[in-house]
Amino acid sequence: MRSSISLGRIAGVQVGLNISVVVIVAILVFGLAFGRFPLVFPGRSWAVYLLAGIVAAVLFMASLLAHELAHAIMARREGVGVSRITLWLLGGVAELQSEPRSPGADFRIAVVGPATSLAAGVVFAVVALLTSATLGPGLVAGMFAYLAGVNVLLAVFNLIPAAPLDGGRVLRAALWARWGDRVRAAITAARAGRGFGYGLIALGFLQVVTGRSFDGLWLALIGLFLVNAASAEEQQTRLGSALQGVRVGEVMSRHPVVAHPDETVAELVDRVVMPRRLSTYPLVGDDGSFAGLVTLNRVRHVDPAVRDVTRVRDIACPPAEVPQARPDELLIELLARMRGSPDGRAVVLDPEGRLIGLLTPTDISRAVQTADLHGHASGLRGADLAPPYREGPGHHRDAA
């Protein structure tokens, strides 16, 4: 899940918005400003309803962000790195760099999100009561009451025991503690998530074909996401089990063909791209330090007319955005850091920071085949969703 808009760092975690978040915000604003609020609190101008809808949407997204930040902060306390938080159409994703080391840590990381949403619901409920007591029952108090209800709904829905929902993480932690086998527990939770997803798809389809409600389309969309995410999570778990103990140095490509940062794109094409036809070229400076990464896709995007004057450093992925590893690092830990990386490659450096190897999708596939497992490492960690939330004629749907 890529971030289209960066919000910077909050509590030390990189936070971003996927462009699809605009859709859910628009649904929220439209559904509230032209549906629920005029129906429940008639007599105001459209500008007042629109302002209330915008404020409610912003506060909902803030509470969703708080939910994800709670996951991230707890994960860091448990020794698990956090790559980023991304808000998108169906909710939020906190991308963890590794898995919890114990059932207890897994449980705490999972349950803190719904607990935060529940706490937000209580806070909004208190604000609604205080507003109603001071200003009287009306639009403002109703807006906070709505936010209280939707946060409680968010907490309850995400505790359904089906991965990748938080309840699926809780189920995994419980089974892990009982069986002493994390892989078996994770696969069981993923299968529960897939079954729940298929159930939502069937229910949504039934609602649509019977003409009862177009909410079925939203249910089916959430169900499809759950099926895909749960399947990817099961695959990732099996991959992690198969590659247990494999080191980066065992599977990396040694002595990769490199380029100089000041070389032009045309020179790179003539010197190595055409003769060698490799997909990836690390950049190495005069001092031997790693200076970036160029792929064929980046080269193709350069207009042939300007390749003679374009330096490869200008099109390269910056070193800070390329996952880096040591040869003795576990491969599965590196794969977790590679999720969402711009080019899907990693470089292997020695203790002095000099390039000694490259890890590409081909290397990963070869390692998987060696382990007699077909597939690839993918998936999202910590996806939080909420079901449709009916609001009358102008209903909208929430995702968290």
Cα-based distances in Å from 376 to 191, 365, 396: 18, 7, 36
**Secondary structure percentages of the chain, helix, strand, coil, to 5:** 55, 15, 30
Dihedral sign computed on CA atoms, order 53, 382, 214, 26: positive
Backbone angles phi, psi at 187, to 5 degrees: -65, -40
Q: Are strands 13-17 and 82-88 parallel, antiparallel or unpaired?
A: parallel
* Whether the Cβ atoms of residue 381 and residue 95 lie closer than 8 Å to each other: yes
E strands, the chain, in order:
5-10, 13-17, 82-88, 91-96, 253-254, 280-284, 290-295, 324-325, 346-349, 355-359, 383-384, 388-389, 396-397
The whole-angstrom separation of Cα 315 and Cα 379 is 28
Question: 256 CB contacts (<8 Å, ≥6 apart)?
Answer: 280, 281, 282, 355, 357, 358
Residue 240 CA to residue 330 CA, distance in Å, equals 10
DSSP assignment of 178-236 equals HHS-HHHHHHHHHHHHHHHHHHHHHHHHHHHHTTS-THHHHHHHHHHHHHHHHHHHHHH
Sheet architecture: strand order including 324-325:
253-254, 355-359, 346-349, 324-325
Residue type, 165: L
DSSP secondary structure letter of residue 137:
S
68 is catalytic: yes
Q: 303: burial class by Cβ within 10 Å (0-12, 13-18, 19+)?
A: exposed
Cα Rg of the chain (Å, integer): 24
Number of Cβ within 10 Å of residue 318's Cβ equals: 11
Catalytic one among 68, 95, 99, 234? 68
φ, ψ at 81 (rounded to 5°): -70, 155
Do residues 51 and 71 lie in contact, with contact meaning Cβ atoms separated by under 8 Å?
A: no
Q: Could you give the residue numbers annotated as active site?
A: 68
